[in-house]
Structure 1
Amino acid sequence: MSGLLALLDDVAGIAKVAASSLDDVASQALKAGSKAAGAVIDDAAVTPKYVAGFEASRELPIIWKIARGSFRNKLLILLPIGLLLANFAPWLIAPLLMLGGAYLCFEGAEKIYHLLVPHDTHHITPEDVPGDPAHLEEQKAAGAIKTDFILSAEIMTIALAAIPASSFWMEAATLAVVAVGITVAVYGSVALIVKADDVGLWLAQNGRIGALRAFGRGLVRGMPYFMRLLTIVGTAAMLWVGGSIVTHSLKELGFGGLGHVIHDWAYAAAHAVPEAYAGFVEWTATATLDGIFGLALGFLLIPVAARVVAPIWGKLFGTSQSH
């Protein structure tokens, strides 16, 4: 009997350790995932364009196809690469973070540049391209998965840098939770966004009470404005997160001057207001200054991307990169 009690006690101890480990993984994954906010919002804002023009019945299957590709990108390719970097070449993480942050800054600045300097663009839809719709669907999904790979690489690198030093398996579990959680969140949100118009139209036509029909009409009318708001928030988040990543990475590499200036200015702003608002003001000032730096860096990178990166990319892959 005493042996059985000892065994049960050991099992309970193991269960407590396992539960504690799961809590640690969940906590670290949440913190790491939150650091990738800019790329996540951009991913959710960009993906709906890949189903534009297709029949409503094909929208969710296309999104699921892209989501499966995103899982493969994160879990089968990027997670092993991230673990190898963390354990055998950690000195590469800061430079890679800088590249990812610079890319976010470039993406955000490019969106603003296109808004300030409009140019004629034509988005290809299934009606524009003759041929097999299934083949076009495969092309669209493949293009979305390639774009997802870039954004996923940013997300996983940011998450990896945010994970505190721990065991190999803890890092692997945390990255896996981040990968699955963010992919579900992004493509679940994309599915809701894409189908919101259809839901609104159905409610407007079939709602049993006037309030439901009015809500449906409001949903249909409001979605274009929501998409614009999502684009604005995504752009601001890209510039803020991208600028913050670059400044922190520079500090890791021994060039902390810019980070110190931003910290000092934010600290001064926080102490210019009542103490109750100091924390909020300091955070807002830091995010704003990071965003301004990100915008400036992004504008500097636009000609570099157009005159250097795009031609090289075109020669290597036979096409120009666009996002």
Structure 2
Amino acid sequence: MSGLLALLDDVASIAKVAAASVDDVIGQATKAGAKAAGAVIDDAAVTPKYVQGFDAAREIPIVWRITKGSLFNKLVILLPAALLLSSFAPWVISPLLMLGGAYLCFEGAEKVAHLFGGHHDEAAVPKGDPVHLEEQKVAGAIKTDFILSAEIMTIILAALPPSGIAMKAASLAAAGVGITALVYGGVAAIVKADDLGVLMSLRGRFAVTRAVGRGIVHGMPGFLKLLSAVGTAAMIWVGGAIVIHGLYELGFGWLHHHIHDIAVAATEAVGRAPGAVEWAVTAFFDGLFGLALGMALIPVANKIIAPLWGLVSRLLPGTSAGR
């Protein structure tokens, strides 16, 4: 009997350790995933355009196909690559983060430039064979997701505390799955919101239900524009913050210290909500730097990188030019 009790006690101890490990994994994944907010918001803002113009019955299946592609990107390709880097070349992580941050700044600044240049991104209505067009859209969405997922996974990896490779792998996987579910669950809700609004406006039993339905239908275009604007701002802000922090870690901390001093001075001048004021001022200057960096990178990308990539694409069979 005592042997059985001892065994049960050992099982209970193992279960407690396992539960604590799960809590640690979820906690680390949540904290690290929050660092990738800018890329996550942009991912959610970009994806709905890939289902615009298709039959309503194909919207959720398309989102599900993109979701599966995103999970493959994160768990099968990027997670092992991230673990290899952290184990054998950890010094590469900070430069990669800075490169990804610069890319976010470039993408955000390009959207701002198009906006003020009068070039608005209007979703074209797909024409031609629906099956072929769906394949093209899904493939394009998964390629875009790969770039954003690479940035997300790198940010998460850099934000994880020192731990064993098993804990890192579990935390990265948990964060990747959680972010994917959050992004594409939100995308699915967004793309079906107008259908829900139409249903409520036509079949609602009460006047208020029908009014809410009409409000959803009329409000969705504005909401999508707002989401796109928030995503762009988040890209620029997060990208700028990543580059500034990377420069600080590489020994070029003048800008980081200068922004910190300004934020502290603003906090002392306001005298209230010091945490919120310091964050807002820091985010403002991070975003300002990100926008300036992105604008500077636009001609570099268009006049140097794009022609070079076009040359490489012609030399290597099977490589497609352009972004």
TM interval, shorter chain, is: over 0.9
Q: Are 1:311 and 1:320, in contact at CA under 8 Å, matched by a contact in 2?
A: no
2 CA distance for matches of 1:310 and 1:227?
A: 30
Q: Are 1:102 and 1:298, in contact at CA under 8 Å, matched by a contact in 2?
A: yes
Q: 2:288: which partner in 1? A: 292
Deviations 1:14-33 (A, max 9, x none): 11111111111111101111
Decide which of 160, 164, 167 is 1:163's aligned counterpart: 160
In the alignment, structure 1 residue 133 sits paired with structure 2 residue 130:
yes
Deviations 1:36-66 (A, max 9, x none): 0000000000001111111111111111111
Report the secondary structure of 1:272's partner residue: helix
1:121 is displaced (CA, Å) by: 6.5
Report the secondary structure of 1:288's partner residue: helix
Q: 1:19: which partner in 2? A: 19
Deviations 1:205-236 (A, max 9, x none): 11111111000000000111111111111111
Decide which of 230, 234, 255 is 2:252's aligned counterpart: 255
Report the secondary structure of 2:259's partner residue: helix
Q: 1:112: which partner in 2? A: 112
Report the secondary structure of 2:269's partner residue: coil
Q: 2:54: which partner in 1? A: 54
1:318 is displaced (CA, Å) by: 3.5
2 CA distance for matches of 1:298 and 1:243?
A: 9
Q: 1:236: which partner in 2? A: 233
Q: 2:172: which partner in 1? A: 175
2 CA distance for matches of 1:24 and 1:120?
A: 45
Deviations 1:94-153 (A, max 9, x none): 0000011001111111111111111376754323xx3x2101110110000000000000
The answer for unaligned runs of 5 or more in structure 1 is: none
Amino acid at match of 2:116: L
1:310 is displaced (CA, Å) by: 1.5
2 CA distance for matches of 1:30 and 1:225?
A: 30
In the alignment, structure 1 residue 198 sits paired with structure 2 residue 195:
yes
Q: Are 1:66 and 1:145, in contact at CA under 8 Å, matched by a contact in 2?
A: yes
2 CA distance for matches of 1:89 and 1:125?
A: 45
Paired residues, what number?
317
1 CA distance for matches of 2:42 and 2:310?
A: 24
Decide which of 301, 308, 313 is 2:309's aligned counterpart: 313
Listed as ranges, the matches of 1:28-177 within 5 Å are 28-119=28-119, 123-127=123-127, 130=128, 132-177=129-174
1 CA distance for matches of 2:197 and 2:184?
A: 20
2 CA distance for matches of 1:42 and 1:121?
A: 15
Deviations 1:260-284 (A, max 9, x none): 111111111111122x411110011
RMSD (Å) for aligned C-alpha atoms? 1.2
Report the secondary structure of 1:53's partner residue: coil
Q: Are 1:93 and 1:157, in contact at CA under 8 Å, matched by a contact in 2?
A: yes
Report the secondary structure of 1:199's partner residue: helix
Q: 2:185: which partner in 1? A: 188
The answer for unaligned runs of 5 or more in structure 2 is: 314-318
Amino acid at match of 1:313: W
1 CA distance for matches of 2:190 and 2:309?
A: 32
1 CA distance for matches of 2:277 and 2:212?
A: 37
Amino acid at match of 2:189: L
Q: Are 1:108 and 1:236, in contact at CA under 8 Å, matched by a contact in 2?
A: yes
1 CA distance for matches of 2:29 and 2:309?
A: 34
1:9 is displaced (CA, Å) by: 1.5
Amino acid at match of 2:249: E
1:163 is displaced (CA, Å) by: 0.3
Q: Are 2:33 and 2:175, in contact at CA under 8 Å, matched by a contact in 1?
A: yes
Report the secondary structure of 1:44's partner residue: helix
Report the secondary structure of 1:255's partner residue: coil
Q: 1:218: which partner in 2? A: 215
2 CA distance for matches of 1:313 and 1:270?
A: 46
- TM-score (structure 2 length as normaliser): 0.95
In the alignment, structure 1 residue 245 sits paired with structure 2 residue 242:
yes
Amino acid at match of 1:9: D
Overall identity of the aligned pairs, in %: 66
Q: Are 2:114 and 2:120, in contact at CA under 8 Å, matched by a contact in 1?
A: no
